[in-house]
Amino acid sequence: MELDNQGLMSVIDKNARKKDHLFTHSIPKYMVRAFFSGMFLTIGTAIAVMVGDKGNHIDPSLGKFFYSFMFSWSLVMIIYMDAELGTSNMMYMTAGMHRRVVSPKRAGQILLTCIICNLVGGIISAWLICQTSTFQQLASDHYLYTTVTAKLSKTTSQILSEGIFANIIVNTAIIASARMKDDAGKLFATVFIIFIFAFLGFEHVIANFSSFAMAFFSNGGMIEGMSVLAVLKNWLFALIGNYVGGGLLIGLLYSWLNKGETVYFD
């Protein structure tokens, strides 16, 4: 797994400028790329919950392992298909503002547009995938339902802290993948880094857009523990936690660590 010669800040600057350029010249194209992230997360979540459910039928301890491994491929699809993910843009836009690559106004516009389009893409894709035969008449204890119910039962502090760690892990995977030259290294790093957050059950707001929508549509309505207030609470505090983890602790702090450095820099 050979690392690319370009440093971390070069990767962040290049990607922040690329996103700014696309948004400036074609907002519809940017929106479509953001829709795709919601779609890929829905597809990844769909196969993950199905494999997880099958794993639980073999042994109750296997479901989470299988789920976490398969869910990791969501980010692989997002990276290789050049889709726009709100949680990685938290890092890119915050660091880009600090490094004056993008203006605060434009960074806010990009991030807000991306998250909204991730939500719309996730919901539409979830509705469509729940029309397939695979998602008809799921058992009440299906892995999808038990996972979503567990997420909705978490306290505010749990959602917030798990959201912080989730996006630290996600953006570590994004940067690791971006800095590697060979595809095998990119795949290995992405899958096994994302496995950490998925297995630990941490809260990722964009992934929750997809999983909550899939639970709702496949069940034909609210599942146990689901209410508008519970869903909005999870999304809000997961969003805040994700921004703290990806935007501030990774994006802002690494930008600050590298400011003015000529010897110890990333």
- Domains of the chain and CATH, by start: 8-258 (1.20.1080.10)
- Whether the CB-CB separation of 102 and 251 falls below 8 Å is answered with no
Using the structure block, give the residue that is written with the tokens 């993948």. Answer: 177
Residue 211: what pLDDT? 98
Token pair, residue 10, equals 């070069």
Nearest alpha carbon to residue 110 among 124, 122, 97: 97
CA distances from 249 to 88, 218, 246, 253 (A): 13, 37, 6, 5
pLDDT single digits (tens) 170-195: 999 999 998 888 889 899 999 999 99
pLDDT single digits (tens) 127-150: 999 999 999 999 999 999 999 999
What confidence tier does 68 reach under pLDDT thresholds 50, 70, 90?
very high
pLDDT single digits (tens) 115-129: 999 999 999 999 999
Note if the pTM is more than 0.85.
yes
d(CA 226, CA 247): 29
Residue 15: what pLDDT? 95
What confidence tier does 6 reach under pLDDT thresholds 50, 70, 90?
low
Cβ neighbours of residue 7 closer than 8 Å, sequence gap 6 or more:
265, 266
What confidence tier does 1 reach under pLDDT thresholds 50, 70, 90?
very low
What confidence tier does 244 reach under pLDDT thresholds 50, 70, 90?
very high
CA distances from 67 to 18, 59, 87, 144, 230 (A): 33, 13, 21, 10, 24
What confidence tier does 2 reach under pLDDT thresholds 50, 70, 90?
very low
- Whether the CB-CB separation of 83 and 244 falls below 8 Å is answered with no
Rounded average pLDDT over 156-162: 99
